[in-house]
Structure 1
Amino acid sequence: MTRAPVRVIVCDDQDLIRTGFTTIIDAQPDLEVVGQCGDGRTAVDLARRLSPDIVVMDVRMPVLDGIAATRLLAGPEAAEPTKVLVVTTFNLDEYVYQALRAGAGGFLLKDAPADHLLHGIRTVVSGAALLDPEVTRRLVGRYAARIRPEGPDPADGLLSTRELEVLRLVAEGLSNKEIADALVISPETVKSHVSRILTKLQLRDRVQAVVYAYRHGLLT
């Protein structure tokens, strides 16, 4: 039985970018662009009407910016959350952090190769998170110190010592293999720890774990 293509909405205020993304995406047999728009408000309206699997979202746009649109589509108050992949020219720590807090499942730069865009769409749709380790490490180095912790860490006493170690390494952008190497354990054990961390803290994915660690001062 043939699976239906992943339904994608492309939202960018530049016609050439929208056309380019649409051409790249529609060339894939497992992906299909079902709508295009040039502002965040229209993206929200289209998503509610067309029920896509994912929205590829720019950040700086008229009417409603991509961060606000992402919050409406994928944030905790969204009635029927839609997955969002933020793709932007603005490689700024603040935009990355705001996008992730708003509920985005991943973040890419527009100058990334086409196969990164396709991989990003498939990854986020699958329920996994897409956050380049270098982006995460830069956030830790340049931005995390400016984020005010939101009071005592509610994970204190909830996570084991090992789980807290794993959470901190996840927040530093390490892959499961890198964490396994650092802690001298197997990648399968790391995967189990990550799964338990997400369950205990009621987090959706690794991206939310990164944001959680920033917000609760787990990185020093």
Structure 2
Amino acid sequence: MTAPIRVVIADDQPLIRLGFTLVLEAEPDIRVVGEAADGEETITVCAAERPDVVLMDIRMPRMNGVAATARVVAECPQTRVLVLTTFDLDEYAFGALDAGASGFLLKDIDRAGLVAAIRAVAGGDAVLSPRVTREVLRRRLTSAGNAAGADGVDIAERVAALTQREREVFQAIARGLSNAEIATELYLGETTVKTHVGRVLSKLAARDRIHAVILAHRGGLAVDGEPRSQNGQSPAR
């Protein structure tokens, strides 16, 4: 039997924590293992519980969600962070993504969306809308040092180490596809895709899927969301 996804909820509003807890505890594969009312408490709870996922509010007292995200990512590398924000394209949310968050959710997300996002992140996916992905890329690609190999040479060397199947998976990641979507497109099982994704991230020395997308664009391997073949042309459909 698969172990449940262990979740910590970090939010300074008790009613929001309660609401999320009631929703998540109703799911057979998710268990809320802790709550926190501020960033410092979040770090303490995560250190003790080692959760799979943290739902992280951005605007909290003592330590905000951006600083807390950076600490959690550094000190609990097995824990993934999903940022909670009231505003779409919140500047603080982008700061949390830069700090290592795996995506962000609006607080008015519906039940199905919340549960799906937690499962996706726990499975290794990033949770970002296409619009947010474009904005993250725009911001990071204009910031030197956010991806190694500004001239693309280092990235090309890493990509050369990928097998043909891993390159196909990498191109799909660069287009923002989830594991399930990659599995459908490449006629693979999701478990197989997850294995390939792990190998791709390792060979690329990418911190996460978002970093892999950046490397693909930095290395000229994807244009307007479409993958390129090795000769730089868009593949035939």
Measured against the shorter chain, the TM-score band is 0.7 to 0.9
Percent of matched pairs sharing the same residue: 44
Q: Which of the numbers 198, 203, 219 marks the counterpart of 2:201?
A: 198
Q: Which of the numbers 114, 134, 151 marks the counterpart of 1:117?
A: 114
Q: Distance in 2 between matches of 1:176 and 1:42?
A: 33
Aligned counterparts, 1:105-184, within 5 A: 105-140=102-137, 143-144=139-140, 146-149=142-145, 151-153=150-152, 154-160=154-160, 170-171=173-174, 173-174=176-177
Give the structure 1 partner of residue 232 of structure 2: none
Q: Distance in 2 between matches of 1:175 and 1:50?
A: 28
1:130-171, CA deviations, whole angstroms, 9 ceiling, x for partnerless residues?
22333213434x534643356444213332498889757744
Q: Distance in 2 between matches of 1:113 and 1:19?
A: 15
Superposition CA RMSD, Å: 3.6
Give the structure 1 partner of residue 41 of structure 2: 42
| Runs of 5+ unmatched residues, structure 2 | 224-237
Larger relative contact order (CA 8 Å, sep ≥ 6): 1
1:96-150, CA deviations, whole angstroms, 9 ceiling, x for partnerless residues?
443233222232221221111111111212233322333213434x534643356
Q: Distance in 1 between matches of 2:52 and 2:44?
A: 14
Q: Distance in 1 between matches of 2:182 and 2:52?
A: 31
| Runs of 5+ unmatched residues, structure 1 | none
Q: Structure 1 157/139 Cα, relative in aligned 2: closer, same or farther at 3 Å? A: same
More divergent stretch after superposition (170-179 vs 131-140): 170-179
More divergent stretch after superposition (49-58 vs 143-152): 143-152
Are the aligned partners of 1:74 and 1:82 in contact in 2 as well (CA < 8 Å)?
A: yes
More divergent stretch after superposition (95-104 vs 10-19): 95-104
Q: Structure 1 88/201 Cα, relative in aligned 2: closer, same or farther at 3 Å? A: same
Are the aligned partners of 1:137 and 1:172 in contact in 2 as well (CA < 8 Å)?
A: no
Q: Structure 1 166/124 Cα, relative in aligned 2: closer, same or farther at 3 Å? A: closer
> TM-score under structure 2 normalisation?
0.70
Report SS of the residue matched to 1:7: strand
Q: Per-residue deviation at 1:42? A: 0.3
Report SS of the residue matched to 2:156: coil
Question: What amino acid is aligned across from residue 101 of structure 1 in structure 2?
Answer: D
Question: What amino acid is aligned across from residue 53 of structure 2 in structure 1?
Answer: I
Q: Structure 1 96/171 Cα, relative in aligned 2: closer, same or farther at 3 Å? A: farther
Question: What amino acid is aligned across from residue 102 of structure 2 in structure 1?
Answer: G
Give the structure 1 partner of residue 213 of structure 2: 210
Are the aligned partners of 2:125 and 2:179 in contact in 1 as well (CA < 8 Å)?
A: no
Q: Distance in 1 between matches of 2:132 and 2:35?
A: 27
Q: Structure 1 145/47 Cα, relative in aligned 2: closer, same or farther at 3 Å? A: closer
